[in-house]
């Protein structure tokens, strides 16, 4: 079995189309989308319509929840909500934050217990770092699986828990850097504008992962973010880095 995993599209339809073209050429049996699909100053409506037309397994991320709950919305969620119609909002409401694909494979946006928790990173007063194995094991929350797919942090990683479970974050399709003050201020940066995803494959030896970066024409999306009053997004889309505070 070969599974393409996408996550954290954030309304960046050109990046999603590039990724979909790439995994179609490589050949996969199934596609899963781990959520945070629409939030942001880009193309939420068009991205929703693209995703609704696919026969993919799709989850809700924390931003799907926030789009649907007025008191939880960030500015990116407010923009997305304003662009969506009844059909798209109903589709969002139908999505779940985690799903057991089969006895071996568990899908979640953050961790099995929370859509807003990093699985493979830990936030400290000094910023974000790679999670320790003890932290990873604790965040599994007793889940038994040979493969867990997670998103949320936008950073591509493949880590094996002490149980041997492979935990894969495919990175972000649409937003390659951001800063956040949840728990403590931190930045997540991938260092290039390329769209990210993963392919996981089951062989006789077990599950393996390929973490893939796909180039695409990011300039129109950076320009759109700037026109919509989000220079932070424009810089992140164009560079894969968080815009320095002094710029």
For the sheet with 166-170, list strands across it.
98-102, 105-108, 147-149, 166-170, 156-160
**What sign does the dihedral 109-113-117-123 (CA atoms) show?**
negative
Is residue 113 within 8 Å of residue 72, measured between CB atoms?
Answer: no
Phi/psi at 111 (nearest 5 deg)? -130, 170
Report how far residue 92's alpha carbon sits from residue 120's, in angstroms, rounded to the nearest whole number. Answer: 26
Coil, strand or helix: which one is 154? coil
Per-residue pLDDT tens, the chain, 247 aa: give them.
Answer: 899 999 999 999 999 999 999 999 999 999 999 999 999 999 999 999 999 999 999 999 999 999 999 998 999 999 999 999 999 999 999 999 999 999 999 999 999 999 999 999 999 999 999 999 999 999 998 899 999 999 999 999 999 999 999 999 999 999 999 988 877 888 999 999 999 999 999 999 999 999 999 999 999 999 999 999 999 999 999 999 998 775 5
User: pTM of the full predicted structure?
Assistant: 0.95
Report how far residue 54's alpha carbon sits from residue 28's, in angstroms, rounded to the nearest whole number. Answer: 14
What angle (nearest 5°) sits at the alpha carbon of residue 83, between those of residues 76 and 48? 90
Report how far residue 3's alpha carbon sits from residue 153's, in angstroms, rounded to the nearest whole number. Answer: 20
Is residue 18 within 8 Å of residue 195, measured between CB atoms?
Answer: yes
Is residue 28 within 8 Å of residue 6, measured between CB atoms?
Answer: no
Q: Is residue 246 part of a domain?
A: no
Maximum Cα–Cα distance for the chain, whole Å?
Answer: 52
Q: Is residue 20 part of a domain?
A: yes
What angle (nearest 5°) sits at the alpha carbon of residue 209, between those of residues 138 and 3? 100
Q: CATH number, domain at 105?
A: 3.60.21.10
Q: Is residue 220 part of a domain?
A: yes
The tally of domains found in the chain comes to 1
Q: Is residue 244 part of a domain?
A: no
Residues 122-158 have pLDDT tens digits of 999 999 999 999 999 999 988 999 999 999 999 999 9
Is residue 28 within 8 Å of residue 199, measured between CB atoms?
Answer: yes
Residues 6-28 have pLDDT tens digits of 999 999 999 999 999 999 999 99
Give the structural domain span for 98: 2-239
């Amino acid at each position: 079995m070969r599974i393409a995993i996408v996550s954290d599209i954030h309304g960046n339809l050109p990046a999603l189309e590039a990724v979909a073209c790439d995994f179609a050429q490589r050949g996969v049996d199934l596609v899963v989308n781990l959520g945070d699909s629409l939030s942001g100053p880009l193309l939420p409506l068009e991205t929703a319509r693209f995703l609704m037309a696919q026969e993919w397994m799709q989850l809700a991320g924390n931003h799907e929840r926030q789009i649907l709950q007025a008191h939880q919305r960030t500015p990116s969620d407010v923009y997305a909500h304003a662009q969506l119609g009844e059909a798209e909002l109903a589709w969002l409401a139908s999505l779940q934050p985690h799903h057991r694909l089969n006895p071996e494979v568990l899908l979640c946006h953050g961790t099995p217990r929370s859509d807003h928790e990093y699985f493979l990173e830990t936030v400290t007063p000094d910023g974000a770092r790679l999670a320790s194995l003890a932290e990873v094991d604790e965040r599994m929350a007793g889940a038994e699986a040979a493969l867990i797919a997670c998103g949320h942090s936008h950073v591509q990683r493949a880590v094996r828990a002490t149980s041997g479970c492979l935990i894969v974050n495919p990175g972000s399709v649409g937003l390659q850097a951001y800063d956040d003050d949840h728990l403590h201020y931190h930045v997540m940066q991938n260092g290039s504008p390329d769209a990210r995803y993963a392919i996981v494959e089951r062989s006789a030896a077990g599950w393996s992962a390929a973490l893939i970066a796909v180039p695409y024409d990011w300039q129109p999306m950076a320009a759109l973010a700037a026109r919509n009053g989000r220079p932070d997004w424009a810089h992140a889309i164009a560079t894969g880095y968080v815009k320095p505070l002094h710029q």
